[in-house]
Amino acid sequence: MKKKTVLFICTHNSARSQMAEGLVNNIYNDKLKAYSAGTEKTQVKKLAIDAMKEINIDISDQRSKTIEIFKNKKFDYVVTVCDNAKNNCPFFPGAKRYFHASFEDPSEVNGSYKNKLDAFIKTRNKINKWIKKNLMK
């Protein structure tokens, strides 16, 4: 069976979309192949890397990318994971099906390292539940 492809899009491709890519490519890689991109390019947040490491998934080699590099690629699913990405990228050519799932930005949490990491873990877990429910049917 051919794996379905999914592109996760967020604004900066630094946390939510990166964690989603890592989850799919490590937990659901028997059925899906994931990519991620942003409407802007930045860098993968260390807290996203740390939150994924907590469940033994290493995303430290993943890099922030813009949607431009995927403009000629076809995807089974395109998922915007924040409202800003949905508003700035409401249509992605070549997608068979679109989803929008607005996850809180864990980068906006202030406080100690532990408080911030807890926010990233909470968002990671919500993304994982969403993937199971919506893409693993």
pLDDT recorded at residue 108: 93
In this structure, are residues 23 and 124 in contact, taking their beta carbons and an 8 Å threshold? yes
Spans of all domains in the chain:
4-135
pLDDT recorded at residue 82: 84
pLDDT recorded at residue 114: 97
82, 117, 121, 135: the active-site residue: 82
pLDDT recorded at residue 39: 86
pLDDT recorded at residue 51: 98
6, 9, 10, 15: the active-site residue: 10
pLDDT recorded at residue 83: 72
Q: Which of 57, 47, 68 is nearest to 25 (CA)?
A: 57
Class of domain 4-135: alpha beta
In 18-94, at which residue ranges do the beta strands (DSSP E only) sit? 32-38, 75-80
66, 89, 100, 130: the active-site residue: 89
Residue pointed to by tokens 């990233």? 120
Question: Residue 9 catalytic?
Answer: no
Q: What is the mean pLDDT of each run of 10 residues along the chain (137 residues)?
A: 92 95 97 94 96 98 94 92 69 84 94 97 98 93
